[in-house]
Amino acid sequence: MATWLITGANRGIGLGLTGKLLARGESVIACAREPLKAEALAGQKDRHGDRLTILGLDVTSGESVEAAARASAVPIDVLINNAGIYGPRAGQGALDMDFGAFAEVLAVNTLGPLRVAQAFLPRLEVAGGKIVTVTSRMGSLAGTNDGAVAYRASKAAVNKVMTGLAQALRPRRIPVLLVHPGWVQTDMGGGGADITIAQSTDGIITLADRLDMSLSGQFMNYDGAPIAW
């Protein structure tokens, strides 16, 4: 039984990952910024008891992340940086940017994953753990679509941040992987998205299981195909 820590675990892909991992017998620290409102996680707690810990964690707050790291003294085998926001559907163009919203998107999607990784690093080191960051194909600089600039920039930036982290953690043998989860039927992806949460989370978990130093620093689709930076 391994211990997985997942951010943004109260709904969407994070909740799907939590359910699947608990079902296969893993131990999960499910983080939510408003744990008292995380009803779906509370339901899982009733079923799985001690194997599920629900932890309050807002990735934009250093205080919150540090308090969460202090609250969970156990070694962590896999950290999944999943929490993310898309930002406003309008006001994300290069000519009509809502800069307040842009800063918030960067705070959650780019700074958040690094803040969480740094705070939980001692727990990962104890376990010989690994880090998976859920990014997006929309952050690929090879793409030509010019919509949703704030979201795309935040994911391009987290890709750079995580390749830097992969390099920095190579001597400590902690691998870091960037995964695009697919276009997924969640609140963010919408009902018309390509794949279900179950299809996406199967892929993400398979990749996390496979992750070793030979894959560290790579950017992959949920099905394991490499994605151009």
Ligand X SMILES: NC(=O)c1ccc[n+]([C@@H]2O[C@H](COP(=O)([O-])OP(=O)(O)OC[C@H]3O[C@@H](n4cnc5c(N)ncnc54)[C@H](OP(=O)(O)O)[C@@H]3O)[C@@H](O)[C@H]2O)c1
Question: Token digits for 141?
Answer: 């600089």
Q: Which CB, 123 or 180, lies closer to ligand X?
A: 180
Least gap, CB of 51 to ligand X (angstroms)? 20
Q: Specify whether 151 is catalytic.
A: yes
Q: Is residue 7 left, alpha or beta, with left meaning phi > 0 and alpha meaning psi from -120 to 50?
A: beta
Q: Is 87 left (phi over 0), alpha (psi -120 to 50) or beta?
A: left
CA 229, 4, 184, 117: dihedral to nearest 10 degrees?
-40
Q: Where are the alpha helices (DSSP H) in 148-196?
A: 149-169
Q: Where are the beta strands (DSSP E) in 103-204?
A: 130-134, 176-180
Q: Is residue 87 at the binding interface for ligand X, with CB under 6 A as the rule?
A: no
Nearer to ligand X (CB atom), residue 85 or residue 149:
85
Question: Residue 215 contacts by C-beta under 8 Å, 6 or more apart in sequence?
Answer: 175, 177
Q: Is 83 in the site for ligand X (CB under 6 A)?
A: yes
Q: Contact between 203 and ligand X (CB under 6 A)?
A: no
Q: Work out whether 181 is an interface residue with ligand X (CB under 6 A).
A: yes
Which amino acid is present at 227? I
221 binds ligand X (CB under 6 A): no
**Residues 173 and 124: beta-carbon distance below 8 Å:** no
Residue 132 CA from chain centroid, whole number: 7
213 touches ligand X (CB under 6 A): no
**8 is an interface residue for ligand X by CB under 6 A:** yes
Using the rule CB under 6 A, which residue among 60, 118, 163, 196 binds ligand X? 60
> Is 165 one of the binding residues for ligand X (CB under 6 A)?
no
For ligand X (CB under 6 A), the number of binding residues is: 28
- By beta-carbon proximity to ligand X, the closer residue of 8 and 129 is 8
What does DSSP say about strands 130-134 and 78-81: parallel, antiparallel, or unpaired? parallel
Identify the residue among 184, 205, 220, 227 touching ligand X (CB under 6 A).
184
Shortest spacing between CB 173 and ligand X, in angstroms: 26
In the complex with ligand X, which residue's Cβ is closer, 50 or 187?
187
Q: What is the DSSP letter of 2?
A: -
Give yes or no for residue 12 binding ligand X (CB under 6 A): yes
Which residues form the catalytic set?
A: 151
> By the criterion CB under 6 A, which residues form the site for ligand X?
7-8, 10-14, 33-34, 58-60, 82-85, 108, 134, 136, 180-181, 183-184, 186-189, 193
